[in-house]
A and B are shown apart, each in its own frame.
Chain A
Amino acid sequence: MAAISKSEEMLLTLLVMNYGLPKQADRKENPVAWCTSIAPVEFLRALDVLPLYPENHGAIIGAKKMGVELAEVAEEAGYSTDICSYARVDIGQVMTGKSPVYGLAKPDFLVCCNNICNTVIKWYENLARYFDVPLFLIDTPFNHGLKNSESSINYVEGQFREFIPWLEKVTGKEFNMERFMEVARISTETSRLWREIMELAKHRPAPFTAFDSFRYMAPVVTMRGTPEALEYYRLLKEELQQRIRDGVSAVPEEKYRLMFNGIPVWYEMRRMSQLLARYKANFVCSSYTNAWILQFDCDNLMRSMAEIYTSILINQSLDRKAANYENLVDDFSLHGIVHHSNRSCKPYCFGLYDLSRMSQARPNAVPELIFDGDQTDPRNFSWAQFENRFQSFMETLALNAAG
Chain B
Amino acid sequence: MEQYLDYFLDAAANPVKEINRWKEEQKGSVIGCLPIYIPEEIIDAAGALPVYLWGGKTEIDRANAHLQGFACSIVRAVLEYEFKGTYDMVDGFVFPSTCDHIQNTSDIWAKAFSHRPKFDLVYPANRQSNYAEQYLTELYREFISWLEVLTGSKADDDALLESIKKYNLHRRLMSELSEIRAKSPQSLTGREMSGLVKASLFLPKDEYNSRLIELLPWLWERRIREKPKTRLVLTGILAEQEIIDIIEELGGCIVADDLARGARLHRNQVDESIEPLAALARRHLSLGPCSTLFDPGKGRGPYLESLCRETEADAVIFINMKFCEPEEFDYPVIKTDLEKAGIPLLFIEVEQQMTSYGQLRTRLQAFMEMLA
Contacts and interface: CB of A to CB of B under 8 A. Distances in A.
Interface of A: 77-80, 82-84, 87, 114, 117-119, 121-126, 128-129, 135, 137-139, 141-142, 144, 151-152, 154-155, 158-159, 162, 317-318, 341, 343, 346-347, 349-354, 357-358
B71 A122 contact: no
B216 interface: no
A158 B131 contact: yes
Contact of A350 (B104, B124, B128): B104
Given A114-B125, A119-B100, A141-B122, A155 B107 contact: no
16 contacts: A77-B332, A82-B70, A83-B328, A119-B100, A126-B332, A135-B296, A141-B97, A142-B103, A152-B122, A158-B129, A318-B107, A318-B108, A346-B325, A350-B68, A353-B68, A354-B111
A349 B138 CA distance: 30
B106 A144 contact: yes
Contacts of B124: 139, 141, 155
User: Main SS of chain A's interface residues?
Assistant: helix
A346 B71 CA distance: 8
B366 interface: no
Contact of A317 (B100, B107, B323, B328): B107
Interface in B81-137: 97, 99-101, 103-108, 110-112, 120, 122, 124-126, 128-132, 134-135
Interface of B: 65-68, 70-71, 97, 99-101, 103-108, 110-112, 120, 122, 124-126, 128-132, 134-135, 138-139, 291, 294-296, 298, 320, 322-323, 325-326, 328-333, 335, 347
A84 B294 contact: no
Given A122-B326, A123-B329, A144-B110, A159 B129 contact: yes
B325 A122 contact: yes
A302 to B, nearest CB: 13
A194 to B, nearest CB: 27
Contact of A84 (B67, B130, B131, B325): B325
A350 B108 contact: yes
Contacts of A354: 66, 107-108, 111-112
Smallest CB-CB A-B distances: 5 pairs: A158-B131, A78-B332, A122-B329, A350-B104, A155-B135
A2 B327 CA distance: 52
B329 A347 contact: no
B32 to A, nearest CB: 17
Contact of A121 (B71, B108, B111, B125): B125
A360 B126 CA distance: 38
B298 A129 contact: yes
A336 B93 CA distance: 36
Contact of A137 (B101, B126, B320, B323): B126
Given A84-B325, A152-B122, A318-B110, 20 more contacts: A79-B332, A82-B323, A119-B329, A122-B325, A125-B329, A129-B296, A137-B126, A137-B296, A142-B103, A144-B120, A144-B122, A162-B129, A317-B110, A318-B111, A341-B68, A350-B67, A350-B101, A354-B107, A354-B111, A357-B111
Contacts of B323: 82
Contact of B134 (A79, A117, A154): A154
B128 A144 contact: no
Contacts of B329: 79, 83, 87, 119, 122-123, 125-126
Nearest to A138: B126
From B101, B131, B296, residue with most partner A Cβ within 10 Å? B296
Given A129-B333, A151-B138, A80 B328 contact: yes
Given A155-B134, A350-B101, A144 B107 contact: yes
A56 B331 CA distance: 25
A154 B131 contact: yes
A144 to B, nearest CB: 4
Contacts of A84: 325
B334 to A, nearest CB: 9
B92 to A, nearest CB: 15
A117 B67 CA distance: 17
A128 B298 CA distance: 9
A86 to B, nearest CB: 12
Contacts of A158: 129-131, 134-135
A357 B112 CA distance: 11
A343 B101 CA distance: 12
A113 to B, nearest CB: 10
Contacts of B101: 346, 350
A357 B295 CA distance: 38
Contacts of B100: 117-119, 346-347, 350
A119 B110 CA distance: 23
Contacts of A162: 129-131
B122 A142 contact: yes
Contacts of B130: 158, 162
Nearest to B112: A354
A174 B114 CA distance: 51
Contact of B294 (A80, A121, A144, A154): A121
A118 B131 contact: no
